[in-house]
Homo-oligomer: A and B are copies of this chain.
Amino acid sequence: MSVTLDDVAKRAGVSAKTVSRAVNGEKGISETTRERILSLVDEMNYVPHTQAQNLASGKTHSIALHYPLFSPTLISEGLEMSFVSGIGGEAAQANYYFTLFTGELDQRELTRICRASIADGIILMQVSMDDWRVETLRKLHFPFVMIGRCQDNQGLSFVDFDFENAVIDAYAHLVDLGHREIGFLTYPPAWQQESLGPAIRAYLGFQQAIDRFRLKPICYEANLTVESGYARATEAVKEHPDITAFVVMHNTVAVGAINAIQSLGRRIPDDYSVVGVALGKESDLILPPLNAIHWYGDQIGQRAAKILINTLTNKTAKPEQILVHHKIEIRGSTARISQSH
């Protein structure tokens, strides 16, 4: 039903291989033949059958992303499209297809994906410190790149946000302004239990900041909802009446905290300073606009895809490990403590 390579070859009076050469831009064919064939290809509306190409060549020209979205204990919100679109854009530019797996996989299914020639390589998201997927892919010698990283990253490629230092920077900013009693609103307890990288590293950053600046450790784990942020912030203020600032790890939690502060009849930044860390694009919606350290999912996704595709193309490519730069953006949600207290 569709036009095939052979159809074109017959019409052109050449062999299939010659048409193949013309279509794929291979060397070893005269310019005149190529042009003649290509115009015929155009005329006949020939499109190579991807599956057949893949089967014959043993490559899929496709990368996969595993972004487990339906794991309620791990992530309830904050699914960021920006990572997906960053990867998709980069894949398209490199002429790779992009297959998305959003379910929670088990080892069997992941193995199946690798063995079934669905993709040449895979990008992992929601990486935990000791992620079983990493071991599985390693054993299968299946190329992959992590967005995030685990405990032992030797020989692995990743792109990650530097949660640890971002948290420290947020604290430094507040300490500079004279704050000493700072509430830390971090990721859900479930994330810590599952050893998800962001939770572990954010907490490490918190501990370092406490040590370095000799602060009282005030830490609350919030689920990623406005309600939970509201509840935890309210608790924090009750249990530590001298708190003057918050460092918050998620946009919905930040909104809950803001809401809580305003419900108490207090103001930002006059009464409380607030700094967000690792906020995505949707944090634009937050009022008042927060001083925050953002991450840019599209850029992270793009780099991850680039590294993966490079690995696939270039056999001698070495592992790349990238911690993206971050810096705090100032928008007026923090104030010098002397102004208000």
Interface residues in chain A, defined as those with a beta carbon under 8 Å from any beta carbon in chain B: 2, 45, 47-52, 54-55, 60, 62, 69-70, 77, 79-82, 84-85, 88-89, 92, 97-103, 111-112, 115-118, 225-226, 251-252, 255, 258-259, 262, 281-287
On chain B, the residues within 8 Å of A50 by CB distance are 116-118
Contact B60 A51 (CB under 8 A): yes
When chains A and B are docked, how far (Å) is the Cα of A47 from the Cα of B112?
A: 6
Query: Could you tell me the distance between the alpha carbons of A287 and B251 in the complex, rounded to whole angstroms?
Result: 12
Bound-state CA distance A54–B51 (Å) is 7
A101/B92 contact (C-beta < 8 A), A51-B51, A284-B255 known: yes
Closest 3 CB pairs of A and B: A88-B102, A47-B115, A81-B81
Known contacts A100-B84, A226-B284: does B118 contact A2 (CB below 8 Å)?
no
Inter-chain contact B51/A117, CB cutoff 8 Å: yes
CA distance A111 to B85 in the complex (A): 22
Cβ–Cβ contact B47 & A116, under 8 A: yes
Task: Using CB atoms, name the residue of chain B closest to A114.
Answer: B47
A2 CB to nearest chain B CB (Å): 6
Inter-chain CA distance A47–B118, complex, in Å, is 11
Pairs across A and B, CB under 8 Å, 13 listed: A2-B115, A45-B115, A47-B111, A47-B112, A51-B60, A70-B85, A77-B281, A88-B103, A92-B101, A98-B100, A98-B102, A255-B284, A259-B287
Q: Which of B81, B102, B118, B285 contacts A251 (CB 8 A)?
A: B285
Contact B49 A69 (CB under 8 A): no
Residues in B whose Cβ lies below 8 Å from that of A49:
55, 116-117
B residues less than 8 Å from A60 (CB atoms): 51
- Selected from B54, B81, B100, B258, the residue in CB contact (under 8 A) with A80 is B81
Q: Besides the contacts A52-B117, A69-B89, A98-B101, what 4 more A-B pairs have beta carbons closer than 8 Å?
A: A45-B115, A47-B112, A55-B55, A88-B102
Which residues of B are found within 8 Å of A116, using beta-carbon distances?
A: 47-50
User: Could you tell me the distance between the alpha carbons of A62 and B55 in the complex, rounded to whole angstroms?
Assistant: 16
User: How far is B85's CA from A55's CA once the two chains are assembled, in angstroms?
Assistant: 29
Given A81-B80, A282-B285, also A103-B92 (CB < 8 A): yes
Q: How far is the CB of A31 from chain B (nearest CB, A)?
A: 23
Tell which of A50, A69, A117, A285 has the most Cβ of chain B within 10 Å: A285
Task: Tell me the complex Cα distance, A50–B113, Å.
Answer: 9
- How long is the Cα–Cα vector from A268 to B294 in the complex, in angstroms? 29
